[in-house]
Amino acid sequence: MLAYLEEIGEADNTVTIIVSDNGADNNEQDKIFPEWYAKNFDMSYEAMGLPGSYVNYGPGWAGASGTPLNLFKASASEGGMRVPFILHYPAKLQKGKLTDAFAYVGDVTPTLLELAGVPAHEGSHDGRKVHEITGKSMVGFLRGDAERIHDPKDPIAYELAGSAAVFRGDYKMMRNNPPFGDKKWRLYRYTDDPLELDDRSEAEPKRFAEMQAAYDAYAKEVNLIEVPDDYNPLTQMQKNISRNQGKEQTKRVPILD
């Protein structure tokens, strides 16, 4: 693709983004759905990496892949959320800058809209009410006109399958639900402690309470329904896929009058 853009003279006028959607994948689908994988893939060691094989390296190697960050995909720890992000657009942005400034996935859309010169909608489209676009454009920061993308007072909240986090300034409040954690909220100054070793929840109770309030406000805003105490995302995945497979099989059964 990049070679083609060079060939047609559009490489410098094209926004190119490379980003991972989450940390290392710890899942072992062949153990969750052994019959399906055995039927559709060659799971032997000799076939590993060849066409027709399917390989998951499991939580051990996922943890190694994310070293030194804690945990992996589906957790709210840095190993599950902190990912590389590369944006290339020579036509309008400065080159060769490496930064550790905080940005979130919701910032990508408003960034692309601004670079394309397309105004973001404000809650309506063609007379219909629609969800407002979240996030902030990174363009000002990428051009060197701003020192940050997000105001340090603004919280950014997240939840997935019960695990959740709130980022604000240099701090991160997070919890991991089973099987990754104990559902207990913890507070870290993640810019200095990306390994999440020093829980600051007792040392900074006021900040901890403020970030809990920020999460509660986020949950109310998006109508978030907390998962039950016995919820396990892998078990739920098994139920969902088994249910969907049953529907597919039902569709294929001929109905005879």
> Residue 227 is part of which domain span?
153-237
Does 230 map to a domain? yes
pTM: 0.84
Distance CA 24, CA 95 (A): 28
Does 24 map to a domain? no
pLDDT above 70 covers a percentage of the chain that reads 93
Whichever domain contains 178, its CATH number is 3.30.1120.10
Arithmetic mean of pLDDT, 42-61: 86
In this structure, of 30-44, 48-62, 97-111, 123-137, the range with the lowest mean pLDDT score is 30-44
Per-residue pLDDT band for 247 (boundaries 50, 70, 90) equals low
List, in sequence order, every beta strand (DSSP E) within 29-162: 85-88, 124-125, 128-129, 156-160
Please report, for residues 32, 119, 130, 180, the alpha-carbon distance to residue 125 in angstroms, rounded to integers and kept in the order given. Answer: 42, 12, 7, 40
**Residue closest to 78 by CA, chosen among 183, 189, 203, 161:** 189
Quick check: 122 pLDDT over 50?
Answer: yes
The number of domains in the chain is 1
Does 60 map to a domain? no
Does 44 map to a domain? no
Quick check: 253 pLDDT over 50?
Answer: no
